[in-house]
Chain A
Amino acid sequence: GDSVTQMEGPVTLSEEAFLTINCTYTATGYPSLFWYVQYPGEGLQLLLKATKADDKGSNKGFEATYRKETTSFHLEKGSVQVSDSAVYFCALKNNQGGKLIFGQGTELSVKP
């Protein structure tokens, strides 16, 4: 079945460091890919998405490119801030129905 695998956390970075959180997926057909972010004590919020191969999603300085050849959707940010500390979830959705399949989440902690 479809699945999403993320790099394990926690990831601890200093402010202004470069961030990469790896995400790879297994799916039939052509899924849509998402990154969701969960700030402490809150629900998940959509961070960015990509709906087809080579699409780049971007928001709040974060980017991710849909790479079909490597089945990946890595999240990157050039300069993280303390306020980016959160748990990040990679997810996919196939074209049937609304079901999202989530990775296990990667906790990011940014220190001043």
Chain B
Amino acid sequence: EAQVTQNPRYLITVTGKKLTVTCSQNMNHEYMSWYRQDPGLGLRQIYYSMNVEVTDKGDVPEGYKVSRKEKRNFPLILESPSPNQTSLYFCASSPRPALGVYEQYFGPGTRLTVT
């Protein structure tokens, strides 16, 4: 089954404790992206990657890191989480976006709470 998976689905952590949220897709997509969803703000892009070893900042990159060493994986790293990073996070992927209009496939979401 074609899908985007995220782990963990739920995470409660404390301020300053490094964490990684994994994202993996099995559709051989070039493009991957991370969003955060907050009430009244919709989805805002954190980072995206056009292909392996190519990453770029989205609209709200502060406090986050990403890497794209393999095509299928795009982990989101919070080196020192803070309470304002409490949010619902979505990973998404799509085929080569520069060549046309493609659907983005979303993972199920990771609900992160930082206390």
Tell me whether A and B are bound partners. yes
- Asked if B106 and A44 sit within 8 Å, CB to CB, the answer is yes
A98 in complex: contacting residue of B42, B94, B106, CB < 8 Å: B94
Query: Contact: A104 with B40, CB < 8 Å?
Result: yes
Interface residue count on the A side (C-beta < 8 Å): 22
B76-115: CB near A (< 8 Å → 1, else 0) gives 0000000000000010101001100111101111000000
For the residues of A in contact with B, the DSSP-based class is loop
Q: Which of A55-112 contact B (CB under 8 A)?
A: 89, 93, 96-100, 102-105
A43 and B108 in contact, given A97-B98, A98-B31 (Cβ under 8 angstroms): yes
A88 to chain B, nearest CB (A): 11
- Residues of A near B92 (CB, < 8 A) are 44
Total interface residues on B, CB under 8 Å, equals 26
User: Closest residue to A6 on the B side, CB-wise?
Assistant: B42
Q: Find chain B residues with CB under 8 A from A42 CB.
A: 108-109
- Checking B40, B42, B58 against A99 with a beta-carbon cut-off of 8 angstroms, the contacting residue is B58
- Residues in A with CB closer than 8 Å to B4 are 43
Query: Binary interface profile of B, 16-60, with partner A (CB < 8 Å = 1, else 0)?
Result: 000000000000000101010000111111001010000000100
CA of A49 to CA of B101, assembled, Å: 9
Select which of B31, B44, B45, B90 is within 8 A of A44 by beta carbon. B90
